[in-house]
Structure 1
Amino acid sequence: MSSDFVVRGGLLADGTGAPLRRADVLVRGDRIVSVGEVPDSDVAELDAEGAVVAPGFVNVLSQAYESLQRDPRGLSDLYQGVTTEVFGEGYSLGPVEGRMRAIAKDYAEQTHVRHEWPRINDYLNHMATSGVGPNLASFVGADNLRMAFAGQEDRPLTAGELTAACGLLDEELANGALGLGSALIYAPGMYASTEELTAFAEVLARHDALYISHIRNESDALLESLDELITIAERSGARAEVYHLKAAGRDNWPSMAPAIARIEEARARGLAITADIYPYEAGATGLDACIPPRFHDGGPDALRGKLMCEDFRTAVKDAIRAPGTDWDNCYLSAGGADGILLLGGDTSEWNGMTLAQVATRHGDADPLDTLVDIVVADSRMIIALFEMTEDNVRLALQSPWVSVCSDSEAWTAAPPYSDSPTHPRAYGSFARVLGPYVREGVLHLEDAVRRMTSLPARTLRLADRGVIREGAFADLAIFEPDKVRDLATYSDPHRYAEGMRHVVVNGVVAFREGGPTDDLGGRALRRGSK
């Protein structure tokens, strides 16, 4: 339960980017009621001497919708000061309608957590009433709208299906969904045309909701894919954001500056375009994402079945080898098998090895044979793709409209959770920006805080969040700036970040003196509501 207390003696980074200033913060219930010099009283205190007091951080792209069902504290993010998790990159836990019911049931059987939620609010309300550490909010997954009518088929929605899907989106937006999230390199999201996405975006515009997208190609066709997102925003009038902005593949690294310029040009024309990033040189995805889109028709089970056919297998390998811009070739972007690190799946014998190393161990002359064999044997194999450059991360962070995400689960660094494969970004994205990137001069501390607080809160239309002022919700991250750092690595990813002293969620102290309290203050958040 929340109660009155004072955060005493800290330096205030209020989330707006304003200079640091000495201020106390008085919390009453779930709100901030005073900011400044709070007189001594018998009210409880949180010591902030020598620390910075900031709004709680907003994770614009979280994949914690499953892990929070297992452990609702969300510790890997809590240790970094994250107080709000945002879901919906292509897929969301609701709406589940029509043909998607069977697909969601399969997902639940594979993951051992519930996926069959009729509407997004059913999931959010269940988590909030059951008890959850962070606040939760969600986009509508564009995959959900397709799968309700077309399943996992590679085909356009019919006119009637598209009208019905738009109606479903309209209902979810009326009930507070943040907008629509697409993931256009994965099946079935990749089967959506620009016209289909524009139709959805026209619904978004009527609600002042956001279109947010893992764009169709982040490598050889990065600029063309950005143009698609900008075109959707321009035609529909909707606001838009690019998930985890990057230029993938060594040959494409020079495209980052033109990509940023492309977004700046759109913003100069009055379009509300933003982006987010995670600060790492490697991404993470399923190994099956290295297989071109056209082979995924019918879903993952169908793909694995067809890979048993030698002719189909040969066609897949030939397509992976061939450069081109008709799909996002993760294999080539990573520089081939040496740039693909197997993080883990159902089969642990390959964990921590590159695809090239596994190929050598198995005696495969062609690493693509190894890739196909693993996809068939282990459908849940997660990989790290070393396809980006540190220079481009820093370049992106120079743009004031870029916020921060983890694109990951919120894990607990203890068994059985620590047995799960993960990328170090799960434990380090926010600490990495707030600590090393600030200390190295990439960002001023006040601006780093703004990227994690008021910028995403405003973009997502989360009312009274992301700032420290009278009347705002009491989501707070209190940290020691000289001590904040990420400790997670690719070989040892389940390691909590350091430097956070206290974290408060809706007035509930969830993290005190460097460790979790196990008190759960999270709520279900809706766009625009207070």
Structure 2
Amino acid sequence: MQHDPQPDARPDAAVETPVNEHATGVPADRLVDLVVRAGSLVDGSGSPAFDGDLAIDDGRIVAVGDIGTITGRDEIDARGCVVCPGFVNVLSHAYFTLQQDPRGLSDLYQGVTTQIFGEGVSLGPVTGAMTESMIELVGALPEGARAAWPRLRDFLVHLESTGVGQNVASFVGADNLRMSVAGIEGRPLDDDELARACALLDQELADGALGVGSALIYPPGTYADTRELTAYAQVLARHDALYISHLRNEGDRLLEAVDELLDIARDSGARAEIYHLKTAGRDNRPKMRRVLERIESARAAGIEVTADIYPYAAGSTLLASAIPPPFHLGGADRLRERLADPDDRATITAAIRDGGDWESLWRMSGGAPGVVVLSHHPDIDVPAGSTIADIAEARGDADPITTLLDIVLAAPHADAAYFIGDEDNTRLAFAHDWVSVGSDSDAPAADERFADHPVHPRAFGTFARVLGRYARDEAIVTPEEAIRRMTSLPATNLRLRDRGLLAPGAHADVAILRLADFTDTATYADPKSYARGMRHVLINGVPALRDGTPTGALPGRALRRDEP
């Protein structure tokens, strides 16, 4: 198996002959900021673990393995622990929760050191015909959080300047590009609009954005045609940036949706990735092998395409997403007007029940028993964690679609878990060496400030579940390979230089954990439960978690694509 190259060392990082195959020479008797002693080092390349030390100075790794007489102003005893690069969360929605609590604790307890935003919508650029209120497409704005910045970089720098626990980077939301020239109109862009959207993208990429993230089942992303997406990808190709997409369909038309992404990559020359690769709906489960064959064939033909996964059968998004896209035209207020109108509500009810030419989360979940409301809304007596079926029965509703619509009318931004997936298919996908990991969630704490915050267990358990269950317990891949999928693989795909490896010159994002104890504890019934087994987490060389306890340090940085 080929692995990603290690990052280039800084000129002063190695000046002597290594003592052994894992060691890097440094000046004798050097005093550095921090030394991690006697750990089992897993360097992120997929290579076997080896015993040794890690020397860190000025936020960078300066020596790995047998470090000789180097001593640290501070030292961490890593005996009995795996020492590896910190994990990269390829699909994070923590842009609001990090403004509320910058520690990002649900991810910190799992060893995540970098958060990646931008699925469909990003908090910048918000300009032109796009308005701040359009950011509400990603959910209700929490108290104290800001939703919009003129440029994407402004948002990331704001997080860094005010203090943020993890590193942050982002794709430009494809919705932002479209809405900057056409608002939320449900139509193709004309040539002039598309040219202006591409010019905006070019500016954002020059300022370090990772690429473009699309979400093609949600309005207004669903209005973008292949021509529009290919135009964005052509701009991406010029910058060696990534096109990453929540596919247009993950169910009945999954194969066609995969083909669209492959066509975009082929026709543009851009690299591409599929967000949270899965099959939606019981009848579509056999399609995963065909999807994987298509991707392998494309890769063999020279198309650079990858994917990421989260290790749960239930997806999560707005409960309103069960309502077909045509009824979302005009935004959330217009949808509520339709739900309040008896004739429109009857039409919506029939569309949800009968399905149509869209991805029906309701039908793919098996209806009311397969949809769990994650948000607590006391006004309509909806306890979090209840299925629509249970709520309908408690309310005496003959038709559970009525229940669903009543909840959306009262709480348009209510979140839900949809049991559309198949974890065996996720395991099948993860066996492929081009698949990385993202939580598709935000990063709250398990405390009172998030008491009413809707949570899927993947927020607290994704990375522990992959390494603890998929690698350690089920041996789908080795622990070393699972760590590569969560470190150097995404860092390389995202062009985050000097990240994702334990190597001289790399930024010191480091996770130190007891592999035998590393376990996800979050469930659908009790989702706000931290993972166990993580002992220390260093971010840019600074301990953010020490001896299993958050330090309160906020050493995260705003990252740019291909920046040293």
**When the two structures are superposed, what TM-score results if normalisation uses the length of structure 2?**
0.91
What secondary structure is seen at the aligned counterpart in 1 of 2:516?
coil
CA distance in 2, matches of 1:228, 1:27: 45
Could you tell me which residue of structure 1 aligns to residue 532 of structure 2?
A: 498
Are 1:346 and 1:380, in contact at CA under 8 Å, matched by a contact in 2? no
Q: Structure 1 residue 111 and structure 2 residue 142: aligned?
A: yes
Show the counterpart of 2:364: 333
- Deviation string for 1:418-459 (max 9, x for gaps)? 331110000000000111222221220000000000000000
Identify the residue that residue 507 of structure 1 maps to in structure 2: 541
Question: In the alignment, which residue of structure 1 is the partner of 2:446?
Answer: 413
Counterparts of 1:123 and 1:522, CA distance in 2: 14
State the SS of the aligned residue for 1:111.
coil
Q: What is the alpha-carbon distance in structure 1 between the residues aligned to residue 182 and residue 501 of structure 2?
A: 42
Does the C-alpha gap of structure 1 residues 82 and 208 become closer, same or farther in structure 2, counting only changes over 3 Å? same
Q: CA deviation at 1:102?
A: 4.2
> What is the aligned counterpart of 2:270 among 234, 238, 241?
238
Map of 2:502 onto structure 1 = 468
The aligned counterpart of 1:216 is: 248
Does residue 487 of structure 2 align to residue 432 of structure 1?
Answer: no
1:355 aligns with 2:385: no
Quote how far apart the aligned CAs of 1:159 are: 1.5
Deviation at 1:322, TM superposition (A): 2.2
How many Å apart are 1:365 and its aligned residue?
Answer: 1.4
**C-alpha distance in structure 2 between counterparts of 1:224 and 1:23, whole Å:** 49
Instruction: Report the secondary structure of 2:386's partner residue.
Output: coil
Unaligned runs of 5+ in 1: none
1:12 lines up with 2:46 in the alignment: no
Secondary structure of 1:442's match?
coil
Separation (CA, whole Å) in 1 of partners of 2:478 and 2:451:
33
Count of residue correspondences: 527
Cα 1:225–1:105, aligned 2, differ >3 Å: closer, same or farther?
closer
* Match in the other structure for 2:98: 68
Do the aligned partners of residues 105 and 169 (structure 1) sit closer, same or farther apart at CA in structure 2, a change above 3 Å counting? closer
Q: SS where residue 419 of structure 1 aligns?
A: coil
Aligned to 1:458: 492
**1:99 maps to 2:129:** yes
State percent identity of aligned pairs. 56
Which segment drifts farther, 146-155 or 328-337?
146-155
Cα distance in 2 for partners of 1:47, 1:71 equals 29
Q: CA deviation at 1:293?
A: 1.1
What displacement does 1:109 show? Answer: 7.7
Aligned-pair distance for 1:321? 2.0
Please tell me whether the aligned partners of residues 57 and 82 of structure 1 are also in contact (alpha carbons under 8 angstroms). yes
CA distance in structure 2 between the partners assigned to 1:14 and 1:293 by the alignment: 45
Q: Displacement of 1:158 after TM fit?
A: 2.0
Say if 1:504 and 1:42 are closer, same or farther in 2 by CA, change over 3 A. Answer: closer
Q: 2:82 aligns with which of 34, 52, 67?
A: 52
**Deviation of 1:345 (Å):** 4.6
- List aligned pairs for 1:251-290, cutoff 5 A: 251-290=283-322
Structure 1 residues 198-250: Cα deviation after superposition (integer angstroms, max 9, x where no partner):
11111001000000000011011111100111111111110000000000111
Tell me, in whole angstroms, the C-alpha distance in 2 between the residues paired with 1:81 and 1:230.
32
1:310 is displaced (CA, Å) by: 2.0
Q: In the aligned structure 2, how far is the partner of 1:90 from the partner of 1:144?
A: 8
1:28 paired to 2:57: yes
Equivalent pair of 1:401/1:455 in contact (CA under 8 Å) = yes
Per the TM alignment, residue 105 of structure 1 is displaced from its structure 2 partner at its CA by 7.5
Range that drifts further, 343-352 or 402-411: 343-352
Query: In the alignment, which of 167, 180, 183 is matched to residue 151 of structure 1?
Result: 183
What residue is the counterpart of 2:153 in the other structure? Answer: 121
1:358 Cα shift? 1.2
| Structure 2 contact 265–272 (Cα < 8 Å) conserved | yes
- Return the alpha-carbon distance in structure 2 between the equivalents of residues 461 and 249 of structure 1: 34
- SS of the residue 2:481 aligns to: helix
CA contact (8 A) 1:96 1:104 kept: no
* Cα distance, 1:136–1:110 mapped onto 2, change above 3 Å: closer
Within 2, Cα distance between the matches of 1:346 and 1:293? 24
1:146: how far off?
1.3
Contact 2:35 2:72 in 1 (8 A): no
- Secondary structure (helix, strand or coil) at the match of 2:232 reads helix
Q: Indicate if the aligned counterparts of 2:126 and 2:132 stay in contact, CA closer than 8 A.
A: no
For structure 2, the residue ranges without an aligned partner over 5 or more in a row are: 1-31
Aligned alpha-carbon RMSD (Å): 1.4
TM-score (normalizing by structure 1) = 0.97
Structure 2 partner of 1:520: 554
Question: Which amino acid letter does the alignment assign opposite residue 328 of structure 1?
Answer: E
Q: Deviations over 1:4-40 (max 9, x none)?
A: 1101000111000001101211000110001111235
CA gap of 1:347–1:216, structure 2 versus 1, over 3 A, is farther
Deviates more, 1:218-227 or 1:412-421: 412-421
